[in-house]
Amino acid sequence: MYIVMLGAPGSGKGTAAKILSKKTGLPHISTGDMFREQIKKETELGKLANSYISNGGLVPDEVTIDIVRDRLKWEDAKNGVILDGFPRTEAQAKALDEILKEQGKKVTIVPELVIPAQIIIERILNRATCSNKECGAIYNTKFKPPKVEGICDVCGSKLITRNDDNEETIKKRLEVYHKNSKDLIEFYKEKGVLKTIEPEDPTADNASEQAVDIILKCCE
Ligand code: ADP
Ligand code: ZN
């Protein structure tokens, strides 16, 4: 199964992707996480990526496509993956099709999480993520705070706030998402794999689990 998660920043696509990964055993591939790892290691790629990410813009297609192409060659990706944050442009979507085609594969389903903008902004501004990559639990410091401030309930690691989770960058990221997503959504709609998911209550505790159940039902 090759699942492409679509949704604005803060739509919960990362959380849903993590749950999907756990339930299916398929690797969760987040280009945002991959870039953040490179930034942390201060590699050349990280420096380049950061110059775009810190402004809320997109890392150039060539760079992004290359890292995904390499990642899809790993052994763990041969039965499928959960892609989170890629593709983000039509050029990336076409490149992904080509990469998969070479292996005789194609995108299985493209869930699109649709969440009202107000909820999204509120969510991102209060977002805190576990610094332990293996865990990656996500908290909302206002609505779903950890038991101990700044500490992950699940694994006890420190919680961190993403540098790009500030009001100015969020507005730009949402703009960029809406500008690019139109073409992406059209692209996958035409292929008949788009599945729009509009949670009844996106603030519900189990909203992500519900979205995942819908996705898995479509794949049966
Ligand atoms: P969010 O969806 O909350 O913005 P991500 O972790 O998916 O978070 O992405 C963070 C940033 O990383 C994006 O704003 C963008 O700059 C960069 N990025 C991630 N994926 C891509 C991609 N497929 N193409 C270009 N840039 C990307
Ligand atoms: Zn944790």
Q: What is the mean pLDDT of each run of 10 residues along the chain (220 residues)?
A: 95 93 96 95 97 94 97 95 97 97 95 91 92 90 92 97 90 92 95 93 86 90
Ligand 1 pocket mutation pick from 52, 58, 63 by most atoms within 8 angstroms of CB: 58
CB 119 within 8 A of CB 202: yes
CA–CA dist 133, 125 (Å, integer):
21
Q: What angle do CA 106, 109, 114 make, to 5 degrees?
A: 140
Distance CA 9, CA 13 (A): 8
Cα separation, 92 vs 65, whole angstroms:
6
**Whether residue 127 has its Cβ less than 6 Å from ligand 1:** no
> Which atom of ligand 1 sits closest to the CA of residue 31?
20
Amino acid 202: pLDDT: 85
The string of DSSP codes covering 73-103 is: TSGGGTT-EEEES---SHHHHHHHHHHHHHT
Contact between 157 and 151 (Cβ < 8 Å)? yes
Residue 20 pLDDT: 96
**Residue minimizing CA distance to atom 2 of ligand 1:** 9
Ordered by start, the domain boundaries in the chain are: 2-115+166-219
pTM for this predicted structure: 0.91
Pocket test residue of 11, 15, 35 for ligand 1, highest count of atoms within 8 A of CB: 35
CB 48 within 8 A of CB 58: no
Q: Are 54 and 164 in contact (CB under 8 A)?
A: yes
- Is residue 35 within 6 Å of ligand 1 at its C-beta? yes
127 residue type, one letter: R
Query: What pLDDT is stored for residue 204 in this prediction?
Result: 83
Kindly report whether the peptide bond that precedes residue 87 is cis, defined as omega within 30 degrees of 0. Answer: yes
pLDDT the model gives residue 94: 97
Instruction: Determine the distance separating the centroid of ligand 2 and the alpha carbon of 19, expressed in angstroms.
Output: 14
Distance of alpha carbon 168 from alpha carbon 170, whole angstroms? 5
Give just the sign of the alpha carbon dihedral 35, 113, 137, 107: negative
pLDDT of residue 19: 94
In CATH terms, the fold of domain 2-115+166-219 is: Rossmann fold (3.40.50)
Q: Is the CB of 6 under 6 A from ligand 1?
A: no
Residues forming the active site:
13, 88, 127, 162, 173
